[in-house]
C-alpha cells in the first residue's frame, strides 16, 4: 500500500532585540552565566513585566510577511508548568488570542511549481533559561530567560521531508530579509520541532502523530523526517499499532529515539496574565508597519524577472539570500550590456562555484565588481577564451589584481590571428585523416573534434569561433 | 459543578503540594463550596458582556528597547538555595 506523509512544523524564533521581552536586560550571548538577569526575568515576586516595543514591531512585521491576519485584540497568557529553566513556574505565552493567524508561504518543488503552505498562527512568548546537566545536578543559566520568541506553527500541509526543508529555507530567507532574527539553528536562535504521521493514500483521517525534537540544522530536520517516514512505513506494513509519542533525533546514530515520557496529557492551565495589559493593534498601526516592510524574496524575484528578463529559476537562486541579491543586483546594474543574462550567467555559474569552493556566500567574495565586468568584456570581444576567463576569475579573487594584469601575466590573450592559426590547423588536419574524412562524409561531430584538437595544441588560447570558420573554409 | 478527590489530588500534584488524606477530604469539601459559589454566575445572562481579559481599561503598555543595568551574578545568586560557580544548581531533572 502507498502512504501519504503529513508533516507540520513548529518553529521557535528568537527576535534580535537589544533587550529581553519583559525587562531591560541586554541580550548578549558572550556573557558570563547569570550576568544578564534582573528581578523581572528571575521571576521575583512583586516585579512587573512590560513588553518590548521593538519586539512587538518585529513580530507584526513577521506576521505580515507571512500573510497572516493580525488579531485586533491580543493578550498574554500564563502557561503553567514546573521546570528548573523557568524561574516563574510559568511561561508568558499566548493561548486563545494569538498575535496573528491564517498566514501562508510559498515553496517551489523540483519543477518550480509553487505550493502554498498554511501558517496556523504566529504568537509571542518568552524563552526559558539554559540547563547544563552534570552527573548529579543540573546547572541553570538564566541569561536566556525572557528573550522574546515567536512561535510559528505551520498547517500539516507538508508532504515530504524535502518540502519541510524547503519550507524552512523559504521561512529563513524571508526572516533574513526582515532582519529580525539571526535564524541560526546551531546557535539556537531558530529551533524547529516536527509533527509527522503517515496515512494510506487518499485517507481523510490522520495517522498516529509523532513529535520530533532535538534537530539542530535544517538538514537534521530533513534527515530525522526521512528516518521517521521509513520507520513508520515499516510499522504500518507490518500491521503494527503505536501510540502518539515524542522522539528525539540522534544525529550521531542517524535515528530517532522515543523519549518514554511518563507524564500524561499536559495540563498547562492557561489563564490571562494579570500583570500585562492587552494590545489593541489597529489598522493605522498595521498600515504603518506594512509600509516599512522591505522588498521580500518573492517580490524581488518577480522584479528581477521583469526588469532584467531573467528566468524564474535564475531569479530564484539570486534572491534566496538578501545579501547575495544585493550583490547580484549591484553587478547587474554595473553591467553595461543590454542583455543582463550575460552577467547573470556569470553570477550563477563561475561566481557561485567560486563562492562554494571557498565555503563563502556570493556577497562574501573579495572581488572588484568593475574588474569582473572588464573580464566579461574580454570574453565578449573574443580576446580571451571562456576557459581562460574562469581561470582569471579565480586568480582575481585570490590576488585582487586587474583583469588586464592577469591576462598579460598568464599570457592568455586568445589567438585570433588567422596566419598563426592556419599553421596549427594544417598540422591537425594532417594528423587526423580519419576525422577529416568523417567530416567530409557529413559527420558534424568530426568538426568539433578537429576544433578541440586545435584548442589543445594552442594551449586553450585559440579562438574557437575563428578556428571553426577556418577549418570549414579549408575542408568544404 | 462538583469536584472529586481525584481532581483535587491532580491539582495538588500540578501545584507541587503534598496533601495528607485528612487535608484532601477537607479541601475537596471547601473547593466544592467555592466552585458552587462561582457557579452562580452561570445563572446570569451574560450574552452581551464582552469577555474580560484584564480588569483595568488600559492597553498597549510598552517600553522602549533600551538596556538597563542587570544584576551582578553575585547579586543574582544571592538567594540561590544552591550554586556552583556562577550557576544556580538544582537537582538533576531530565524530562
Ligand atoms: Zn531581566
Residue B25 sits in a domain of what CATH number? 1.10.20.60
CA distances from B3 to A81, A264, A344, A373, B26 (A): 22, 20, 71, 79, 12
For residue A253, how many C-alpha atoms fall within 13 Å in the half-sphere facing its CB? 6
A257 sits in which H/E element: strand A255-258
Closest CA of chain A from B44, distance in Å: 22
What does residue A308 show for φ and ψ, rounded to 5 degrees? Answer: -115, 10
Is the model more confident about A196 or about A391? A196
What does residue B16 show for φ and ψ, rounded to 5 degrees? Answer: 55, 45
Per-residue confidence (pLDDT) for residue B1, from 0 to 100:
53
The answer, for A212 touching chain B at a CB cutoff of 8 Å, is no
Residue B92 lies in a domain: no
Residue A263: pLDDT band by 50, 70, 90 thresholds? Answer: low
Question: Which positions ≥6 away from A342 have C-beta within 8 Å?
Answer: A335, A376, A380
In the DSSP assignment, the letter for residue A19 is: B
**pLDDT greater than 60 at residue A359:** yes
Q: Are A324 and A316 in contact (CB under 8 A)?
A: no
Residue B31 lies in a domain: yes
Single out the residue of A346, A407, A402 nearest to residue A370, CA to CA. A402
Beta sheet of B83-84, edge-to-edge order = A130-133, A137-141, B87-91, B83-84
Residue B51 lies in a domain: no
Is the model more confident about A469 or about A198? A198
- Count up the domains in chain B and report the number: 1
What does residue A10 show for φ and ψ, rounded to 5 degrees? Answer: -120, 115
Residue A262: pLDDT band by 50, 70, 90 thresholds? Answer: low
Residue B85 lies in a domain: no
Calculate what percentage of chain A has a pLDDT beyond 90. Answer: 70
Q: Which domains does chain A have, with CATH numbers?
A: 3-290 (no CATH), 297-410 (no CATH), 418-475 (1.10.10.410)
Per-residue confidence (pLDDT) for residue A355, from 0 to 100:
93
Cβ pairs A/B, distance under 8 A: 129
**pLDDT greater than 80 at residue B22:** yes
Please give the mean pLDDT across all residues of chain A: 92
Q: B29 lies in which domain range?
A: 5-41
CA distances from A364 to A56, A209, A294, A352, A414 (A): 32, 42, 22, 11, 31
The C-alpha cell that represents A464 in the structure block: 574557437
Find the Cα–Cα–Cα–Cα dihedral A176, A179, A185, A186, rounded to 10°.
110
Residues A337-360 have a mean pLDDT of 91
Residues B57-82 as b or e (16 or more Cβ within 10 Å = b): eeeeeebebeeeebbebeebbeeeee
The answer, for A48 touching chain B at a CB cutoff of 8 Å, is no
pLDDT in tens, B41-86: 888 888 888 777 778 889 999 999 999 999 999 999 999 999 999 9
**pLDDT greater than 90 at residue A227:** yes
Least confident of A81-90, A157-166, A263-272, A352-361: A263-272
Residues A93-101 have a mean pLDDT of 97
Distance CA A57, CA B60 (A): 12
Distance CA A36, CA B76 (A): 9
**pLDDT greater than 90 at residue A192:** yes
Closest CA of chain B from A339, distance in Å: 47
Distance CA B71, CA A38 (A): 5
CA distances from B41 to A284, B1, B3, B30, B33 (A): 38, 12, 17, 18, 14
The answer, for A38 touching chain B at a CB cutoff of 8 Å, is yes
Per-residue confidence (pLDDT) for residue A254, from 0 to 100:
96
Residue B33 lies in a domain: yes
Model-wide pTM > 0.90: no
DSSP β-ladder status, A90-93 and A130-133: unpaired
Q: What residues of chain A, 77 to 116, have a C-beta less than 8 Å from chain B?
A: 80, 82-84, 97
Residue B35 lies in a domain: yes
pLDDT in tens, A286-325: 999 999 999 999 999 999 999 998 998 899 989 989 999 9
Using alpha carbons only, what angle is made at residue A34 by residues A28 and A40, rounded to the nearest 5 degrees? 90
CB contact under 8 A, A140 and B88: yes
Q: Which of A26, A274, A280 sits opposite B67 (nearest CB)?
A: A26
Per-residue confidence (pLDDT) for residue A476, from 0 to 100:
76
Residue B74 lies in a domain: no
Question: Which residue has 570549414 as its cell numbers?
Answer: A472
Least confident of A82-86, A192-196, A394-398, A470-474: A470-474
CB contact under 8 A, B55 and A38: no
**pLDDT greater than 90 at residue B94:** no
Q: Which residues of B touch A279 (CB under 8 A)?
A: 59-60
State the helix-helix crossing angle for A433-440 and A464-475, rounded to 10 degrees: 70
CB contact under 8 A, B60 and A39: no
pLDDT in tens, A394-451: 999 999 898 888 888 877 777 777 788 888 898 899 999 898 889 888 888 888 899 9
Distance CA A152, CA A131 (A): 24
Per-residue confidence (pLDDT) for residue A209, from 0 to 100:
93
The C-alpha cell that represents B48 in the structure block: 452581551
Q: What residues of chain B, 45 to 84, have a C-beta less than 8 Å from chain A?
A: 53-56, 58-68, 70-73, 76-77, 82, 84
Using alpha carbons only, what angle is made at residue A90 by residues A17 and A155, rounded to the nearest 5 degrees? 70
Q: Which of B14, B59, B91 sits opposite A137 (nearest CB)?
A: B91
**pLDDT greater than 80 at residue A221:** yes
Distance CA B92, CA B95 (A): 10
Distance CA B17, CA B31 (A): 15
Question: Which positions ≥6 away from A117 have C-beta within 8 Å?
Answer: A104, A105, A106, A107, A154, A155, A157, A158, A163, A167
State the helix-helix crossing angle for A433-440 and A418-431, rounded to 10 degrees: 100
Q: Are A40 and A146 in contact (CB under 8 A)?
A: yes
Instruction: Kindly give the distance from the C-alpha atom of residue A23 to the centroid of ligand 1, in angstroms, as a whole number.
Output: 5
**pLDDT greater than 70 at residue B95:** no
Amino acid at each position: 500500500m502507498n502512504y501519504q506523509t503529513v508533516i507540520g512544523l513548529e518553529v521557535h524564533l528568537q527576535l534580535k532585540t537589544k533587550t529581553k521581552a519583559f525587562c531591560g536586560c541586554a541580550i548578549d550571548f558572550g556573557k558570563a552565566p547569570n550576568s544578564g538577569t534582573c528581578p523581572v526575568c528571575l521571576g521575583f515576586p512583586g516585579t512587573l513585566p512590560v513588553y518590548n516595543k521593538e519586539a512587538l514591531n518585529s513580530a507584526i512585521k513577521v506576521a505580515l510577511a507571512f500573510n497572516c491576519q493580525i488579531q485586533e485584540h491580543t493578550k498574554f497568557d500564563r502557561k503553567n508548568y514546573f521546570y528548573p529553566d523557568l524561574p516563574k513556574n510559568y511561561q508568558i505565552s499566548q493561548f486563545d488570542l494569538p498575535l496573528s493567524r491564517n498566514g501562508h508561504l510559498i515553496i517551489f518543488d523540483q519543477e518550480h511549481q509553487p505550493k502554498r503552505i498554511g501558517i496556523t498562527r504566529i504568537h509571542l512568548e518568552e524563552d526559558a533559561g539554559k540547563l547544563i546537566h552534570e552527573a548529579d545536578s543540573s546547572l541553570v543559566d538564566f541569561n536566556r530567560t525572557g528573550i522574546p520568541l515567536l512561535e510559528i506553527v505551520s498547517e500539516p500541509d507538508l508532504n515530504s521531508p524535502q518540502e519541510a526543508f524547503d519550507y524552512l529555507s523559504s521561512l529563513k530567507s524571508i526572516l533574513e530579509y526582515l532582519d529580525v532574527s539571526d535564524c541560526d539553528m546551531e546557535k539556537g536562535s531558530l529551533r524547529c520541532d516536527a509533527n509527522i504521521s503517515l496515512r494510506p493514500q487518499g485517507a481523510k483521517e490522520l495517522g498516529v502523530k509523532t513529535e520530533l525534537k532535538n534537530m539542530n540544522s535544517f538538514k537534521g530536520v530533513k534527515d530525522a523526517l526521512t528516518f521517521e517516514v521509513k520507520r513508520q512505513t515499516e510499522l504500518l506494513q507490518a500491521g503494527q499499532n503505536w501510540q502518539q509519542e515524542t522522539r528525539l533525533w540522534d544525529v550521531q546514530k542517524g535515528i530517532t529515539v522515543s523519549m518514554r515520557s511518563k507524564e500524561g496529557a499536559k495540563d498547562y492551565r492557561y489563564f490571562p496574565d494579570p500583570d500585562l495589559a492587552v494590545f489593541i493593534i489597529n489598522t493605522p498601526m498595521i498600515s504603518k508597519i506594512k509600509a516599512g516592510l522591505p522588498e521580500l524574496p518573492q517580490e524581488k524575484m518577480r522584479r528581477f524577472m521583469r526588469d532584467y528578463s531573467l528566468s524564474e529559476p535564475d531569479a530564484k537562486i539570486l534572491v534566496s539570500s538578501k545579501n547575495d541579491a544585493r550583490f547580484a543586483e549591484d553587478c547587474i546594474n554595473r553591467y553595461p550590456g543590454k542583455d543582463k543574462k550575460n552577467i547573470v550567467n556569470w553570477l550563477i555559474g563561475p561566481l557561485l562555484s567560486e563562492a562554494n569552493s571557498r565555503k563563502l556566500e556570493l556577497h562574501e567574495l573579495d572581488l572588484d565588481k568593475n574588474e569582473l565586468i572588464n573580464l566579461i568584456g574580454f570574453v565578449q570581444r573574443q580576446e580571451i577564451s571562456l576557459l581562460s576567463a574562469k581561470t582569471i576569475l579565480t586568480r582575481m579573487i585570490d590576488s585582487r589584481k586587474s583583469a588586464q594584469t592577469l591576462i598579460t601575466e598568464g599570457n592568455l590573450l586568445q589567438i585570433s590571428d588567422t596566419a598563426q592559426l592556419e599553421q596549427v590547423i594544417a598540422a591537425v588536419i594532417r594528423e587526423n585523416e580519419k576525422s577529416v574524412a568523417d567530416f567530409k562524409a557529413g559527420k558534424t561531430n568530426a568538426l568539433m573534434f578537429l576544433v578541440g584538437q586545435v584548442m589543445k595544441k594552442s594551449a586553450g588560447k585559440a579562438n574557437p569561433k575563428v578556428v571553426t570558420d577556418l577549418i570549414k573554409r579549408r575542408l568544404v | 459543578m462538583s469536584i472529586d478527590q481525584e481532581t483535587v489530588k491532580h491539582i495538588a500534584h500540578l501545584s507541587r503540594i503534598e496533601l495528607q488524606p485528612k487535608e484532601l477530604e477537607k479541601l475537596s469539601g471547601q473547593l466544592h463550596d467555592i466552585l458552587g459559589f462561582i457557579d452562580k454566575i452561570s445563572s446570569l445572562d451574560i450574552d452581551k458582556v464582552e469577555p474580560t481579559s484584564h480588569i483595568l481599561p488600559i492597553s498597549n503598555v510598552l517600553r522602549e528597547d533600551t538596556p538597563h543595568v542587570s544584576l551582578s551574578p553575585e547579586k543574582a545568586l544571592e538567594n540561590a538555595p544552591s550554586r556552583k560557580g556562577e550557576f544556580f544548581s538544582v537537582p538533576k531533572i531530565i524530562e
